[in-house]
Chains A and B, each alone.
Chain A
Amino acid sequence: MNYRFLALVSGLVVSAVVATAPVAGQAGATGARPNGSPPKAYAAPRTPDGQPDLQGIWTNATYTPLERPKNVTKEFYTPEEALQLAKRAALEESDQTEPGTVADVHYDFTQFGLDRSQGTMALNLRTSLIVDPADGRLPPLSAEGQRRAAERAAARKSRGGPHDSVQNEPLSARCILMDRNGPPMLGGAYNNDYQIMQAPGYVMILTEMLHDARIIPLDGRPHLPPNVRQWTGSSRGHWEGQTLVVETTNLTDKFAFQGSSENMRLTERFTRVAEDTIRYQFTVEDPATWTRSWSAEVPWKKTIGPIFEHACHEGNYGLYNTLAGARAEEKRAAEEAAKKKSPK
């Protein structure tokens, strides 16, 4: 952290807030910008076969939380508040942790350009990504949702400790799936980039991390049969005016988005609202989990490439090291216990 970096953050944040304000405003209840002027009409360019052109490299990096903080009651920050918050979040992220703490057992994000303020970031005036319910928070769990959450917790416990076996490690550590993949696709700490490509009848979304190509047919074909379940489900798309609408079903109960069930039905909407911005909205319908449907929205900002292949298994020595570390600790603990039992 240095003053040059602070200046960089300030510049980035100012431009991002200004650029994103109309996006936040258009989605507001009045449909107008926060300053009251009407939203500017933007028509996306067209691909040679006539689809609105969403192609390019985009990022959904954000400091905005999915759920509204409990001490916040409004839907939007003022640009000044958003600027202050983004500066503080950037400082905290680049500070990371205090030396000597457990969380400090980590490389320095800033040395690898991985803190969000070093990259492109569309700042949102919204106080939460969730736009519905109006309180910006996940709806209550349904009775079935509560029961399943308890069952999942019990099942996890019965499998032992988090490092007892490779299957107990999170999907991310096993290079299977990350929050960037979704769906829905939400940013994480870093590498929040996507490449959209369009061909007649198809849209392809490449997720940088973990390098997953999501191929979405647009030809009206039905979803996969109900017995076929996939990590990222079965996605089918169509155009509604300027908006690409993608419906996803056939998810698996091996992966739960915020506690969702395998029968979650997800509708995502991609609208290019400016040359450098896509408005990404999604609605989750899952009565087996929540008492009502809910929706969220996050801007995707155009960014630079290339996207380097995130070949996750290639250098995933960490998985081995973690398991080896856990076994070494068990051995040490057993030896100490044995010493205590039979002191010489």
Chain B
Amino acid sequence: MRMRRAVVGVGVALLLAAAPVMAHHAFSAEFDINKPFKFRGILTQWEMINPHSWFHFDVRDESGTVVSWMIEGGSPNQLIKQGVTKHTLAIGTEMTIEGYQAKDGTNKGVGRNLVLADGRRLFLGGAASSPDNKPAGK
């Protein structure tokens, strides 16, 4: 990635303002950089709402107990333009979720990466509108 970026950027000594990775609110205030997690979960609900969507998962912890987690994702508005609906992602879909836990220690997290069982990343970059690459989760 660094190499590709260097190739593209070569010869242009002019700078745009850094692309802001800034959402509706400060995620670093909500989630804890020192509490990363990675686990598998079964989707029980997708709240396709603003300002951010929330995915609900059943997750089996180390003792075998099923616990509920809520995972924050992005605004769904662009996905809707790409043809994604709340029915696109089936309840019961299994995913691996990598993210960071809420600072208050509850079972909430931000979903840095949502990866399906077959290795595809959920809704990755325009895949939803490509006819030979159906929306993930269908």
In the complex the two chains form, is B51's CB within 8 Å of A315's CB? yes
Residue on A with the closest CB to B99?
A: A107
- Residue of A with least CB distance to B2: A95
Question: Is residue B102 within 8 Å, beta carbon to beta carbon, of the partner chain?
Answer: yes
Please tell me which one of the listed residues B5, B24, B73 contacts residue A112 in the complex, with CB atoms under 8 A apart: B73
Contact between chains at B112 and A71 (CB < 8 Å): no
Q: Which of A118, A193, A328 contacts B104 (CB 8 A)?
A: A328
Question: Closest approach, in angstroms, between the C-beta of A214 and any C-beta of chain B?
Answer: 19
Chain B residues near A318 (CB-CB < 8 A) = 24-25, 27, 30, 51-52, 72
A322 close to B123 (CB less than 8 A): no
* Contact across chains for B14 and A321 when beta carbons are under 8 A apart: no
Check A92 against B17 for contact (C-beta < 8 Å): no
Which residue of chain B lies nearest to A64 when distances are taken between CB atoms in the complex?
A: B16
- The residues of A that contact B4 with a CB separation of less than 8 Å are 6, 91
Contacts A5-B126, A8-B126, A109-B21 known; A191 to B78 CB distance under 8 Å? yes
Interface string of B79-108 (1 = CB under 8 A from A): 111100000000000000001101111101
Whether A190 contacts B72 in the complex (CB less than 8 A), given A312-B50, A326-B103, comes out as no
Enumerate chain A residues within 8 angstroms of B45, measured Cβ to Cβ.
none
Contact with B along A311-339 (1 / 0, CB 8 A): 11011111101101111110000000000
Task: Find out whether the CB atom of B75 lies under 8 angstroms from the CB atom of A69.
Answer: no
CA distance in complex: A44, B124 (Å): 38
Q: Which residues on B sit within 8 Å (CB–CB) of A297?
A: none
- Residues of A close to B82: CB separation below 8 A: 113
* Interchain CA distance A9-B5 in the complex, whole Å: 13
Number of interface residues, chain A, beta carbon within 8 A: 85
Q: Which residues of A contact B73 (CB under 8 A)?
A: 107, 111-112
Q: Using Cβ atoms and an 8 Å threshold, which residues of chain A touch B79?
A: 112-113
Bound CA–CA A85/B19 (angstroms): 11
Chain B residues with CB under 8 A of A270: none
Which residues of the other chain, A, contact B70 by a CB distance below 8 angstroms? Answer: 317
Which chain B residue shows the least CB distance to A95? B1
Whether B128 sits at the interface, judged by CB under 8 Å, is: yes
Task: From A98-106, A196-204, A225-233, give the one contacting chain B.
Answer: A98-106
Instruction: Out of A87, A105, A189, A316, name the residue touching B51 (CB < 8 Å).
Output: A316
Contact A69 to B14, CB < 8 A, known contacts A5-B126, A92-B19, A329-B103? yes
Contact: A69 with B1, CB < 8 Å? no
A177 shortest CB reach to chain B, Å = 12
- Mark interface residues in B29-50 (1 if CB within 8 Å of A CB, else 0): 1111100000000000001011
CB B115 to nearest CB in A, in angstroms, measures: 10
* B19/A321 in contact, CB under 8 A: no
How far, in angstroms, from A12 to B108 measured CA to CA in the complex?
Answer: 37
Known: A5-B126, A321-B30. A93 touches B72 (CB 8 A): no
Contacts of B22 in A (CB 8 A): 188-189
Q: How far is the CB of B39 from chain A (nearest CB, A)?
A: 16
Q: Are B50 and A88 touching (Cβ within 8 A)?
A: no
B125 contacts across to A, CB distance below 8 A: 1-2, 4-5, 8, 94, 110-111, 113, 115, 118
Q: Which of A147-155, A234-242, A258-266, A299-307 contacts B (4 or more CB under 8 A)?
A: A299-307
Closest residue on chain A to residue B74 by CB atoms: A112
**Cβ B51 vs Cβ A175 within 8 A:** yes
Alpha-carbon separation in the docked complex, A97 to B121 (Å): 17
Given contacts A111-B121, A308-B80, A316-B51, contact A89 B16 (CB under 8 A): yes
Residue B28 CB within 8 A of the other chain: yes
Closest 8 pairs between A and B when the two form their complex, measured CB to CB? A325-B103, A112-B74, A315-B49, A113-B78, A65-B17, A173-B25, A93-B19, A324-B104
For the complex with contacts A106-B27, A190-B77, A325-B29, 13 further pairs of A-B residues with Cβ separation under 8 Å are: A5-B126, A8-B126, A84-B8, A99-B112, A100-B33, A101-B33, A108-B112, A110-B125, A209-B51, A308-B81, A312-B50, A321-B30, A326-B103
For this complex, 18 residue pairs linking A to B, each with C-beta atoms less than 8 Å apart, are A63-B16, A85-B16, A89-B16, A95-B1, A105-B30, A106-B112, A112-B75, A116-B19, A118-B126, A173-B26, A190-B77, A311-B49, A312-B24, A312-B50, A312-B51, A318-B27, A318-B30, A325-B104
